[in-house]
A and B are shown apart, each in its own frame.
Chain A
Amino acid sequence: MNCKNVVKELSSYLNGELDPRLMLDLQRHLNNCEDCRLVVDTTKKTIQIFCNSEPVPLPSDTRERLHKALANRLRKPRS
C-alpha cells in the first residue's frame, strides 16, 4: 500500500469498516511512514473534536420565540 491508497481508505479505516487484509496492509504502511501516521492521527482528532463539542445554548430571544410558537401549536388539538 502507498500513501495515496492510505488516504483513499482513510475514512473506512477510521470507521472500522476496512477489510481485515487491507487493514493489515495499511497498518504496515503506517509503521513506516510518519506523514501518513500524522494524517491518520490528525484526521481522527478532527472528527473527535467535532463530536465532543457541545452545541452553544440557544440565544434567549431565539428560545423564547421557539417556545411561544410551540405553545401556540401544541395547545391546539392535532389535525
Chain B
Amino acid sequence: MVDPVDANPIASAAAKADDEAVFVRAAKRGDVNAFETLVNRYENKIFRLALNITQNREDAEDVMQEAFLKSFEHLDEFQGNSRFYTWLVRIAVNQALMKLRKRRPNQISLDEPVESEDDLMPREVEDWGPSPEERFAQTELNEILSNVIAELDPPFRIVFQLRDIEDLSTEETAEVLGLSAPAVKSRLLRARLKLRHKLDRYFRKGDNP
C-alpha cells in the first residue's frame, strides 16, 4: 500500500489519523507493506522519543527497532481503543525505560527530585518577543531544543516528552510510567518551567540575532 498522505503534503493530521486505522487493519491481515508504511510514517518521531529519553544514539536505535518489531509481533493485541501511534509510543517508552535502567542502574533515578515550591518561582522574567523560532534556523533550533531537554532530569524529561510532545493524556502518561495523575501533573509543571527557564537564555528579546 502506498501512503496517500505522503503523496499529498497538504493532507491534514486528522486524515492521517483516519487512514492510520486503514493501514493497521491491513497490517493485521498480514499486509507487510501496510506495516512498513506505518514504520515510514513514525520512525523519525519514535527515534526522537527514544533519543530524548535515553540520551544515547545507540540505545535509541535499539529502542526504535525493538519497538517496531514488538508492535508487529503483538499487532493482534492492539484493540484500536487508542490511536496506533499512542500504542506504539507506549511500547517505545517501556523499551526506553528498560534500557535506561539496565544501562545506568545506579546513575538514573526515575523518582522526582525533592524540590520546594519556592524553586518553582521564575526569577528575572523577560519578554521573548513575538516569535523566537523565527530568529533561528531550523537545524539550530533543533539543536537548542535537544540540548535543553537533555539538561532535564529523567523524571521531568520523560513526562514532558509524553504529555507535551507526544500528546498523551495525563492518565495515559500515568499508566505508562506507573505514576499517579497528580505526580504526572506536578512533574509536567516543573518540566515546563525548567524548560522555559533554559530556553530563556536563547530567546530573551534583544540578547540574540
Contacts and interface: CB of A to CB of B under 8 A. Distances in A.
State whether these chains interact: yes
Interface footprint category on A: 35 or more
A32 interface: no
A interface SS class: helix
Interface of B: 30, 32, 35-36, 39, 43-45, 47-48, 57, 61, 64-65, 68-69, 72-73, 75-76, 117, 120-122, 125-128, 132-133, 138, 141-142, 145, 149, 160, 164-165, 167, 185, 188-189, 192-193, 195-196, 199-200, 203
A35 interface: yes
A78 B72 contact: yes
Contact of B61 (A62, A75, A79): A62
Contacts of A51: 164-165, 167
Contact of A7 (B43, B121, B165): B121
A28 interface: no
Contacts of A54: 44, 138
Q: Tell which of A41, A66, A67 has the most Cβ of chain B within 10 Å.
A: A66
